[in-house]
Structure 1
Amino acid sequence: MALCLDEIDNDYWNALENGVKAPELKGDLPLRLKHITSPWTALDIIRTLSIIAGPSLSDSGLNVFIENHPGGPYMSNILNQSGAKLIFEWSGPSKRSTLADGYPPDILYDQFPHRAFIPVGTRSHLYLIGLELMDGVSWEVAVSKPKFKLTRPQSWKLWLQSKHHQWLEREVARIEDEVAGIVKKRPTAKIVFPRV
């Protein structure tokens, strides 16, 4: 029997209302985390090593899913809906929490079965270790074609280069190399407030 999305959503909300008790996270650190996003947002995060938190101060941070959570799979229908999965390693403290607890930074808050959450202001314990593009997704979606601007002669050269039949493939290869070089270093990522 197939499970429809409405049943999953009902199960999810029933679980939250009944206070699902997920097992505490135990075992060896680091934890592997996945963040689902678009390829162009993933590229921006990789290039800046900064995750810009959402505008809601009560819930401003990074939503992630803990790989192989001891409670089982997450009750979320977004796990396979975007084009990229950023993979992080978490080496810091974690705790079970609800929204009412508040969110001091540099702690991973386990809100299984909904999500795990790392709040804005976090500057340590979060390492970028990988990226997976989902099936059928390519870096082509993150490539911007140069625009021809009559008043900017430099744009003419870039625009002409983009007309070459292998230009897009070269740009995709350049992005792949750039991403691989950054991820190989296992850099620390930080979660910052939105720019105003």
Structure 2
Amino acid sequence: MPTSSQPFTTFISDEQLRIMERLRWHGEALLLLVNLSLTRPDANGRLLTGTGTLNAMVQPGDWFRELERVDAASYVELLVPVTEDHARATAVRRIRDARGMLREGKNEPAIVSARAALEQVKNTPEVKALSKSAKAKNSRDRTQDERWAMVVEDVYSLACGAAHDDETTESFVYSRQDAEVIIVAIAGLVARYGA
């Protein structure tokens, strides 16, 4: 039986795209399944019917470009290079582990793993000195480098709530979105400071 291909189009609203993005695992390819029911006449005028499922795998880069095209979302690529430096390689591995935990729905363990990567940045002599001088000043009087050091301190403090259950942090609850933001912030800081 001869086969032919026929392009078809369908409509997906911006809201449906947003829901699909919320439901898919962050960073993963998107698998679309389309159930088809087709009817067409044959050469003798008889109607032929058939059903089937069309599978389409949409890679993350293609998915993000399509979301941007319809103004449904935007993304920023962030590369944290691995170098020969052992501390940096460890930090990158911890961020990678955090992403894996996040895909499994383990929000707090993911944050704890990423926090360990940021700890290496926080404990560098440069950041320690800048944090100390920044804390002694009014926030509007801080230099740009001091403000970056305070970002490290604040993101670290926010992430610490996932690792501790003291009287302040025991009521902290981290959503998937919270975990995503914290992990991305930590990855950016590790990239900026080079662990």
TM bin (shorter chain):
under 0.3
Question: Which structure has the higher relative contact order (CA within 8 Å, separation 6+)?
Answer: 1
Look at both structures and tell me which one has the larger radius of gyration over its CA atoms.
2
- Give the TM-score, by structure 2 length: 0.24
From the two aligned structures, give the one with the greater helix fraction. 2
- Give the TM-score, by structure 1 length: 0.24
